[in-house]
């Protein structure tokens, strides 16, 4: 015969399982967002690789640090910017997440289908005068993602760290890929990243509207 203690234990185990599933799902979401927002830096790095006769390890390290560092910084800036106005936005937070991610994803797809040859014209210089503007330009989307993070149950420091590391890795990979292969996979990567962001935004919206429950 079941006792009250057995019932409490069962309820506790069920709650732990649900919490674990939600935690795992959030980790997967952070990873997918990180990969998606890194695609701009990946594309620019491919362009630099195309224009570089020889990729030196130091230049690869600079590329990873510039792009990864700024991609880690900008979500934090966006997150705390949104925190200043969060109390005014809570009613429509799910629409903000969807709009931000859909806008970023749609723009990535539009750019990928527009003029893919632009990235091949990137200059090969790796000093701060050339890298800083590129790193900032590629991190604007990460700022918008940081705004959406304010309305999601996400640890911003973990998310920013993951985005920075993944972007740095993709940037280095893009540099070598551009040097050895060319722009063959650049467009596919950008389109894929855009689609993933749109789907994550749509999922968040449907969850808040009650169409999806976990």
Token pair recorded at residue 62: 């600079």
Please report whether residue 133 resides in a domain.
Answer: yes
* Percentage of residues in the chain having pLDDT higher than 90: 22
pLDDT value of residue 67: 96
**CA-based R_g, the chain, Å:** 20
CA 157 to chain centroid, in Å, comes to 14
Tell me the three-class secondary structure of 187-200, residue by residue.
HHHHHHHHHHHHHH
Please report whether residue 118 resides in a domain.
Answer: yes
Highest mean pLDDT among 15-19, 39-43, 85-89, 91-95: 39-43
pLDDT value of residue 34: 92
pLDDT value of residue 8: 43
Query: Maximum CA pair distance of the chain?
Result: 77
Among left, alpha and beta (phi > 0; psi -120 to 50; other), residue 115 is beta
Whether pLDDT at 171 is above 60: yes
Instruction: Identify the domain containing residue 43 by its residue range.
Output: 4-208
Q: Sort 186 into a burial class: Cβ within 10 Å, 0-12 / 13-18 / 19+.
A: buried
- The rounded distance, in Å, linking the Cα atoms of 104 and 109 is 9
Please report whether residue 214 resides in a domain.
Answer: no
Place of tokens 């057995």: 6
Whether pLDDT at 43 is above 60: yes
**Could you tell me if 73 and 160 are in contact, meaning their C-beta atoms sit under 8 angstroms apart?**
yes
pTM of the model: 0.68
- The rounded distance, in Å, linking the Cα atoms of 102 and 124 is 32
Please report whether residue 204 resides in a domain.
Answer: yes
**Could you tell me if 173 and 42 are in contact, meaning their C-beta atoms sit under 8 angstroms apart?**
yes
Higher pLDDT, 186 or 127: 127
Please report whether residue 34 resides in a domain.
Answer: yes
- The rounded distance, in Å, linking the Cα atoms of 14 and 168 is 39
pLDDT value of residue 170: 95
Whether pLDDT at 5 is above 60: no
Whether pLDDT at 35 is above 50: yes
pLDDT value of residue 49: 80
Question: pLDDT digits over 134-158, tens only?
Answer: 888 888 888 888 988 888 888 899 9
Among 35-49, 71-85, 114-128, where is mean pLDDT lowest? Answer: 114-128
pLDDT value of residue 10: 46
Please report whether residue 196 resides in a domain.
Answer: yes
pLDDT value of residue 165: 96
Q: Kindly report the average pLDDT of the chain as a whole number.
A: 79
Token pair recorded at residue 184: 């063959």
pLDDT value of residue 7: 43
pLDDT value of residue 169: 97
- In what helix (H) or strand (E) does residue 181 lie, and over which residues does it extend? none
Please report whether residue 96 resides in a domain.
Answer: yes
How many separate domains does the chain show? Answer: 1
Please report whether residue 46 resides in a domain.
Answer: yes
Contacts with 108 (C-beta within 8 Å, 6 or more apart), sequence order: 36, 39, 40, 141, 190, 191, 193, 194, 197
Q: Which of 161, 185, 159 is nearest to 173 (CA)?
A: 185
pLDDT value of residue 17: 56
Question: pLDDT digits over 182-209, tens only?
Answer: 556 667 777 877 787 788 788 878 877 8
- The rounded distance, in Å, linking the Cα atoms of 139 and 104 is 11
Average pLDDT score over residue span 112-122: 57
- The rounded distance, in Å, linking the Cα atoms of 150 and 156 is 8
């Amino acid at each position: 015969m079941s006792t009250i203690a057995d019932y409490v234990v069962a309820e506790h185990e069920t709650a732990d399982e649900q919490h674990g599933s939600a935690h795992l799902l959030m980790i997967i979401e952070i990873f997918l967002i990180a990969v998606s927002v890194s695609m701009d830096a990946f594309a620019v790095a491919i362009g630099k690789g195309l224009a570089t006769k020889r990729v030196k390890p130091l230049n690869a390290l600079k590329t990873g640090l510039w792009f990864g560092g700024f991609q880690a910084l900008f979500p934090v800036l966006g997150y705390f910017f949104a925190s200043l106005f969060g109390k005014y936005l809570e009613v429509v937070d799910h629409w903000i997440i969807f709009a931000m991610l859909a806008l970023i994803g749609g723009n990535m797809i539009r750019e990928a289908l527009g003029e893919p040859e632009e990235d091949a014209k990137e200059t090969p210089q790796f000093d701060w005068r050339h890298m800083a503007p590129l790193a900032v330009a590629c991190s604007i989307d990460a700022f918008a993602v940081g705004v959406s993070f304010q309305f999601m149950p996400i640890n911003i420091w973990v998310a920013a760290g993951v985005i920075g590391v993944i972007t740095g890795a993709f940037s280095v990979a893009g540099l070598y890929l551009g040097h050895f292969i060319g722009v063959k996979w650049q467009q596919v990567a950008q389109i894929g990243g855009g689609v993933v962001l749109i789907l994550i935004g749509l999922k968040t919206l449907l969850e808040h509207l009650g169409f999806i429950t976990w």
